[in-house]
Structure 1
Amino acid sequence: MTDPRKRHTLPTIADVAELAGVSRAIASRALSSEPRPVSADKRERVLAAAAKLGFKPNLLARSLTTKTVNLVAVIVNHIHDLSDLDLFDLLISQIQSIGKQVIFVRVGSAERIDEFLRNGIAYHVDAALVFSDFADAETVRKMFRNDSVLMLNGMRDASSPAIIPDEQVGIAAAVTDARNKGVRSALLVTGRSASPVEQTRIAVYKSELQRQEIRLVAELRGDYSYQSGRHVASSSDWQAADAVFCTSDAMAMGVLDVHRNAFPDNRPRTFRLYGFDDVTLAEYEAYPISSIGYDKAAYIDEILKFLREPALFNAGEKLIQVPTYFVARSSS
């Protein structure tokens, strides 16, 4: 009689191969998340056998064979902006589609980076994607003891490539739109100026405003968030201008809510309003904000190229730029 307390052994890849009538090597290839050569008939038999046995791959054992762990680290300052949600939901989905999983490391400050270095990071990852502007490439390479680091924060060095949106095209189109509608003066509501991406963005706005002969009345500091948009729109520094350019849609939404009386039926009465990021919420009636965006799918496709082909990380200072575009909505 079988002892009911006896623990059943888990099915192995050998069990799957035997049931499917194939070799262990073919069974392993058929169950791999990577594109590996195996006939459709054999793959189908292996998958059916695995399902029948309830077989689940041993990721640790696989990592020892393939030298990968199928983990990707994503380094961020925080996740609280609407544009973060739009981007990272799609990014996670696409990374998972190639058989990898994501771990997020929230930095929050430059001091936290030092803390991570002192205490060490307990993760072995295949690559690190750096969105945080508190983290430079060399530091991240040390954190993970890994040279596969992709910079997405406007910074790069001789050993780590970078991907960034080319914001010149979109900003130029937005400012031209304002000029064509009679705008002669503008406010600029900015995010964290220590960010290299934000520094470049501000410089492009100022250059385009000057080129279009639009006077910059004031530059007001926010932090990309909705709350900071509300704050600057309610502050004593707020001055009359023909247009307000915000370097994030979330801040533009805060401005719009404070000044709803200036947008009857969502149309500008006293000033025109422009955001940045082209978040999904801007497509709806509540916040129809003219905005600058970029093709997030194309941007993520460039990221996936590096994850699929690790040798590309040896490209060093290689810089890939994804073009931006302007979307006119009723706020302008």
Structure 2
Amino acid sequence: MSTVPKSAPEPTLSDVAALAGVSRAIASRALSAQPRPVSADKRERVMRAAETLGFRPNSLARGLANKSVNLVAILVNHIHDLSDLDLFDLLLTEIQAIGKQVIFIRVGAGEDAERFLRDGVAYHVDAALVFADFADAATMRTMFRNNAVLMLNGHHDAGAASVTMDEAKGIGEAVADAAAKGVRSAMLLTGRMMSLVEQARVASYRAALQAHGIELLAELAGDYSYASGRQLARQIDVDTTGAVFCTSDAMAMGVLDAHRQHFPDHRPARFRLYGFDNISLTQFDAYPISSIGADRKEYVAQIVRILNDPAGLASGGGHVLVATRYVPRLTG
């Protein structure tokens, strides 16, 4: 009777350490995705030994030993805004740089979001980063059975850390720019007004316009998208409107395309146009839109700094404000 030959045992961390001539602890540090103190010479020996033996670190086992899974949940309503792409590409890069991976959880909006948050079954993660409009920290802690919740949606829940953009500063600068150029009337194109972030953003525009004596002719609600900006652009009276402020760059792009005839060489002939988010596309020739935004690297750095302090995050490690600024371009 034939027998199936036994496969060779998988190489272990101890095997790697022995071949490299270092302790098991040093081998572990050298192979960790997180920055840990180990000399370049020893790290090179360990990496060479691991390659020789065909050793692959067992992330699950390491996570169990450290009581972590190196997994971070990011909760969003959806991902379709152009600003989302700029932000999340950078955020994923920086989270992976500290040895963690990301899962996105899309909760939708309105009743769908509320139902998901009420009935959703969450993953076992080290932390949850909450961008979704409707989520509160207490619900997140219950869903994930974890106190490590970072609020990024404008909710300042007691006991939960948060990072928020100080949007009033950049908005004030943009409105001041319009006033200095003789603007006396304006329209405001907004996104989802159920969002606490959007409510605060709109309130900042109203206050700045009033402070500079600019009449707010109308507020038109959209959904941050290019399509909604292009559709709302039909309601702009170019003869009475001195400036159009959009609460997203994507909406401003839709307005610009709908009124290209009023922007010869991208410069305003009938009304000035201002966006929000300072997305990467506004740096290209096709959409040189004056905008408002925070330094994304600083924003992401603050998120990762808090994420990298599990004890502080779990205990509600404070509230951080990241300043925004006005970025002038041709349409302003």
The question of a shared fold, defined as TM-score above 0.5 by the shorter chain, is answered with yes
1:89 aligned residue? 89
1:70-219 residue pairs with structure 2 within 5 A? Answer: 70-109=70-109, 110-115=111-116, 117-121=118-122, 123-219=123-219
1:300 aligned residue? 300
Q: State the alpha-carbon separation in 2 of the partners of residues 141 and 306 from structure 1.
A: 17
Q: CA deviation at 1:60?
A: 1.2
Structure 1's unaligned 5+ residue stretches are none
Q: State the alpha-carbon separation in 2 of the partners of residues 60 and 258 from structure 1.
A: 52
Q: Is the 8 A contact 2:239 2:270 kept in 1?
A: no
Counterpart check, 1:58 vs 2:61? no
Which residue type is aligned with residue 285 of structure 1? Answer: D
Count residues in correspondence: 329
Q: State the alpha-carbon separation in 2 of the partners of residues 238 and 5 from structure 1.
A: 81
Q: Is the 8 A contact 2:73 2:129 kept in 1?
A: yes
Q: CA deviation at 1:55?
A: 1.3
Q: State the alpha-carbon separation in 1 of the partners of residues 287 and 204 from structure 2.
A: 25
Structure 2's unaligned 5+ residue stretches are none
Q: Is the 8 A contact 1:77 1:107 kept in 2?
A: yes
Q: Could you say if the C-alpha distance between residues 238 and 102 of structure 1 is closer, same or farther in structure 2, counting changes exceeding 3 Å?
A: farther
**What CA deviation, in whole Å up to 9, does each residue of 1:285-320 have, x standing for no partner?**
101100001001011111111121112214537211
Greater mean alpha carbon deviation, residues 232-241 or residues 131-140? 232-241
Q: CA deviation at 1:135?
A: 1.0
Q: Could you say if the C-alpha distance between residues 80 and 26 of structure 1 is closer, same or farther in structure 2, counting changes exceeding 3 Å?
A: same
Q: State the alpha-carbon separation in 2 of the partners of residues 10 and 63 from structure 1.
A: 19
Query: SS at 2:15's partner residue?
Result: helix
Q: Is the 8 A contact 2:107 2:116 kept in 1?
A: no
TM-score, normalised relative to structure 1: 0.94
Query: SS at 1:234's partner residue?
Result: helix
Q: State the alpha-carbon separation in 2 of the partners of residues 143 and 237 from structure 1.
A: 48
Q: Is the 8 A contact 2:77 2:113 kept in 1?
A: no
Query: SS at 2:288's partner residue?
Result: coil
**What CA deviation, in whole Å up to 9, does each residue of 1:131-157 have, x standing for no partner?**
111211111111111100000000021
Q: State the alpha-carbon separation in 2 of the partners of residues 236 and 286 from structure 1.
A: 21
**What CA deviation, in whole Å up to 9, does each residue of 1:3-51 have, x standing for no partner?**
9965343221122112112222221122122333433322221111112
RMSD: 1.8
Q: Is the 8 A contact 1:157 1:316 kept in 2?
A: no
Which residue type is aligned with residue 210 of structure 1? Answer: Q
TM-score, normalised relative to structure 2: 0.94
Q: Is the 8 A contact 1:117 1:142 kept in 2?
A: no
Q: State the alpha-carbon separation in 2 of the partners of residues 236 and 26 from structure 1.
A: 66
Q: State the alpha-carbon separation in 1 of the partners of residues 81 and 176 from structure 2.
A: 27
Q: Could you say if the C-alpha distance between residues 183 and 297 of structure 1 is closer, same or farther in structure 2, counting changes exceeding 3 Å?
A: same
Q: State the alpha-carbon separation in 2 of the partners of residues 272 and 55 from structure 1.
A: 61
Q: Could you say if the C-alpha distance between residues 37 and 266 of structure 1 is closer, same or farther in structure 2, counting changes exceeding 3 Å?
A: closer
Q: State the alpha-carbon separation in 2 of the partners of residues 160 and 73 from structure 1.
A: 16
Greater mean alpha carbon deviation, residues 123-132 or residues 37-46? 37-46
Q: Could you say if the C-alpha distance between residues 136 and 324 of structure 1 is closer, same or farther in structure 2, counting changes exceeding 3 Å?
A: same
